Amino acid sequence: MFSNCAYKESDYLFSINDQSFTQSELSRRPDFILLKENNASDQEFQSLVEYFLLENLALREAFFRNIQTNYSASESAAINWAGLNFEDNGELVSFLNRNNLSWPDIVIHFQRKITYEDIMDLYLGVTDFDIERWCDNNKEVLDFMWGEWAKGTKVSSPEKIPETYAYQYCRSALIQHKSSNPIYKEKAIEAISRGVKIKWSTK
Q: Is residue 163 part of a domain?
A: yes
pLDDT band at 78 (very low <50, low <70, confident <90, very high): confident
Q: Are strands 198-200 and 12-16 parallel, antiparallel or unpaired?
A: antiparallel
Quote the pLDDT of residue 101: 87
Q: In what order do the strands lie in the sheet with 198-200?
A: 19-22, 12-16, 198-200
Higher pLDDT, 66 or 105: 105
- In a domain, residue 95? The reply is no
Per the model's pLDDT, the better-predicted residue between 6 and 157 turns out to be 157
| Average pLDDT taken over every residue of the chain | 63
> Of 65-69, 105-109, 188-192, which one has max mean pLDDT?
105-109
Report yes or no: 13 and 2 within 8 Å, Cβ to Cβ.
yes
Provide the pLDDT for residue 6.
37
CA distances from 178 to 29, 143, 183 (A): 33, 19, 9
Per-residue pLDDT, averaged over 1-21, amounts to 51
- pLDDT bracket for residue 203 (50, 70, 90): very low
Q: Is residue 129 part of a domain?
A: yes
- Classify residue 44: in a domain, yes or no: no
Predicted local confidence at residue 94, as pLDDT: 92
State the Cα–Cα distance between residues 197 and 174, nearest whole angstrom: 24
Q: Is the pLDDT of residue 11 over 50?
A: yes
How many angstroms separate the CA atoms of 146 and 167, rounded?
9
Strand partners, 20: 15
In this prediction, residue 191 carries a pLDDT of 36
3-state SS, residue 15: strand
User: Is 165 within a domain?
Assistant: yes
Residue 171 falls inside a structural domain: yes
The answer to whether residues 125 and 188 touch, using CB atoms and an 8 Å cutoff, is yes
Residue 24 domain flag: no
What total number of domains does the chain contain?
1
d(CA 201, CA 156): 29
Closest to 124 in 3D by CA, of 76, 182, 73: 182
**Is the pLDDT reported for residue 181 higher than 70?**
no
Asked if 22 and 12 count as a contact pair (C-beta separation under 8 A), the reply is yes
Range of the domain at 130: 125-186
pTM value?
0.46
| H helix or E strand, kind and range, residue 12 | strand 12-16
Q: Is residue 19 included in any domain, yes or no?
A: no
Selected residue with higher pLDDT from 192 and 140: 140
3-state secondary structure of 201: coil
Statement: residue 47 has pLDDT above 60: yes
**How far, in Å, CA of 99 to CA of 34, rounded?**
10
